[in-house]
Amino acid sequence: MKRLVIFGIGQIAEVAQYLFAEDSEFAFSGFTVDGDYCDRSEHLGFPVVPFEEVTDRFPPDDFSIFVAMGYGAVNKQRTAKVAEVRAKGYQLASYTSSRAWLWKGFEAEPNTMIMEHNTIQPYVTIGENTILWSGNHVGHHTQIGKNVFIASHAVISGSVVVGENSFIGVNATLRDNIVLGRECVVGAGALVLADAPDKTVFPGQATEASRVPSDRLRSI
């Protein structure tokens, strides 16, 4: 059985640890984090090792690493850490949920995480170091670049291109046959209907709160 170390001790790392332990071919062995943030020697019952010392405790010939970080700086923080892990000689692990629907020819790239109830239609490609949280739809012939983060229940229609280091928020929708540039941010619930250049931001629109308090509502 393959042995795994996860970089990170935050909530994303905790979720990743659970998924790998319960639904993968990996045997989980421990966490690693940069020395400046290594404030404990154990987490969830497993050892935590400073990243500067990880090769001594978990040699790269015997262990793989998954970098469990969020989308900070449009995913550049996670991208940089993936490069550091590679420089230490590690293979990068990936996780694909047994409860996701994937087309037969799909192959997961290094440091990808595809959670439950994602639908990945035929001829979709997903670049390395990309995270798909639960419940997304990715339409046929779509190309998702490297270092992307897609939150839950986004709909990406057919033949869409999503540029590297982009972020797509909860319940966002991208229509078919459009190109989203690099480092774009699509906010929660946003609707994208046309091509967008690099670094475009589509803010999510919040529902305005009613001036009527809940104890004065008659229909609930």
Residue 205 belongs to some domain of the structure: no
Beta pairing partners, 132: 114, 150
Cα–Cα nearest to 186, from 165, 200, 207, 206? 200
| pLDDT, greater one: 219 or 87 | 87
Q: Quick check: 1 pLDDT over 90?
A: no
Q: Are 52 and 35 in contact (CB under 8 A)?
A: yes
Q: Quick check: 139 pLDDT over 90?
A: yes
Mean pLDDT calculated for residue range 98-108: 96
Residue 217 belongs to some domain of the structure: no
Q: Quick check: 220 pLDDT over 70?
A: no
Can you give the pLDDT at residue 162? 98
Q: Quick check: 184 pLDDT over 80?
A: yes
User: Buried b vs exposed e over 176-202: b needs ≥16 C-beta within 10 Å?
Assistant: eebebbbbbbbbbbbebeeebeeebeb
205 SS3 class? coil
pLDDT band at residue 218 using 50, 70 and 90 as cut-offs:
confident
On whether both 10 and 27 belong to a single domain, the answer is: yes
Residue 27 belongs to some domain of the structure: yes
- Full residue range of the structural domain in which residue 118 is found: 94-200
Can you give the pLDDT at residue 131? 98
Place of tokens 């979720």: 15
Task: Round the average pLDDT of the chain to a whole number and report it.
Answer: 97
On whether both 171 and 101 belong to a single domain, the answer is: yes
Q: Please write the tens of the pLDDT for every residue from 147-171.
A: 999 999 999 999 999 999 999 999 9
Residue 90 is given by DSSP the state P
| Residue 64: Cβ within 10 Å count | 21
Q: Are 168 and 174 in contact (CB under 8 A)?
A: yes
On whether both 155 and 179 belong to a single domain, the answer is: yes
49 membership: H or E segment, kind and range: strand 46-50
Q: Quick check: 15 pLDDT over 80?
A: yes
Residue 210 is given by DSSP the state P
On whether both 70 and 28 belong to a single domain, the answer is: yes
Residue 161 belongs to some domain of the structure: yes
Mean pLDDT calculated for residue range 86-103: 98
Q: Please write the tens of the pLDDT for every residue from 104-113.
A: 999 999 999 9
Cα–Cα nearest to 133, from 21, 25, 19? 19
Q: Which residues lie closer than 8 Å to 139 by C-beta, 6 or more apart?
A: 121, 124, 156, 157, 158, 159, 160, 176
pLDDT band at residue 172 using 50, 70 and 90 as cut-offs:
very high
Q: Are 123 and 138 in contact (CB under 8 A)?
A: no
Q: Which phi-psi region, left, alpha or beta, contains residue 74 (left: φ > 0; alpha: ψ -120 to 50)?
A: left
| pLDDT, greater one: 205 or 192 | 192
Q: Could you give the number of structural domains in the chain?
A: 2
Place of tokens 């009613």: 210
Mean pLDDT calculated for residue range 71-91: 97
Which of 43, 74, 93 is the C-terminal boundary of a domain? 93
Which of 54, 76, 93 is the C-terminal boundary of a domain? 93
On whether both 69 and 133 belong to a single domain, the answer is: no
Share of the chain above pLDDT 70, in %: 100
* CATH number of the structural domain spanning residue 98: 2.160.10.10
